[in-house]
Amino acid sequence: MKRIRVVLSVIALSAVVLTGCKDKENNQDTAIGQENHEHGPDGKHHPNDEKGRHHEGDRKGPPHGGDRKGPPKGGSPEQTKTLEEIGGYKIGEVATDFNLKNVDGSMVSLASIENAKGYIVTFTCNECPFSKLYEDRLIELHNTYSPQGYSVIAINPNSPENEKEGYAAMQARAKEKGFPFAYLVDEGQKIYPQYGAVRTPHVFLLDKDRNVQYIGAIDDNSKSPEDVKVKYVEEAIKALEAGEKPNPTITKAIGCPVKPSRA
């Protein structure tokens, strides 16, 4: 009887030892499985893969090294002030003539333009991305409507403190693009405040008597000429030619803020 109790004790002890070993093995398997799961099939470390995923594909915000969507830093390129707040010309007012230096060295005024039925006065510049987007469209606008009496007169309102907007840079840009229109420097930055230009580009369409007939954008799509639906300046000219008032007469200019002198 005593021998039987000893045998039963040995069997029970063996069972306890075997169970402990099995639990340890299971724990090791679980740890290995978790480690493999965190690293993933590529062998790279992916912590919190199941619950709080941390993969690049689930990352919030712009991707590393990727392009940000939306307007550039500094806010919207759209004109924010009304004509009243700007304090320049309003529709129907008579614009004062000017006499400004062209990139070819000559002096240009509105009165010096022969056979004019109107004037497409456009404040633009060298460096603004929006101005660059519209350069080819301004060339086309001038080539189409100058023979009909509506010439583009481009004026750079920006301070020449930035050499890239200075007279020499304007000459280089005009030569590079082959501007067929006058490209004038607003020396002393006296003209753009009179007109109320706040963006580049910013258009002021005048009739033959220099009455302001349209103020604003060239068309309704600054980024893609192929997707333009309304050509505001062209439609305004067609209205004037038909003896009608443009509609609309005002749109918001899209572009870079005019850069005044820091002095």
List the pLDDT tens digit at each of the 263 positions of the chain: 445 454 445 455 455 444 444 444 444 443 334 333 333 333 334 344 333 333 333 333 333 333 333 334 445 688 777 778 888 999 999 999 999 999 999 999 999 999 999 999 999 999 999 999 999 999 999 999 999 999 999 999 999 999 999 999 999 999 999 999 999 999 999 999 999 999 999 999 999 999 999 999 999 999 999 999 999 999 999 999 999 999 999 999 999 999 999 87
Q: Which residue has the tokens 């006065």?
A: 121
Give the model's pLDDT for residue 147.
97
Residues in the chain: 263
Q: Please tell me the pTM assigned to this model.
A: 0.72
Residue 89: which residues within 8 A CB-CB, separation 6 or more? 83, 95, 194, 195, 196, 204, 212, 215
With 0-12 / 13-18 / 19 or more C-beta atoms within 10 angstroms meaning exposed / middle / buried, residue 137 is: middle
pLDDT at 256: 96
Q: Specify the pLDDT at position 245.
A: 97
Residue pair 130/200 in contact (Cβ under 8 Å)? The answer is yes
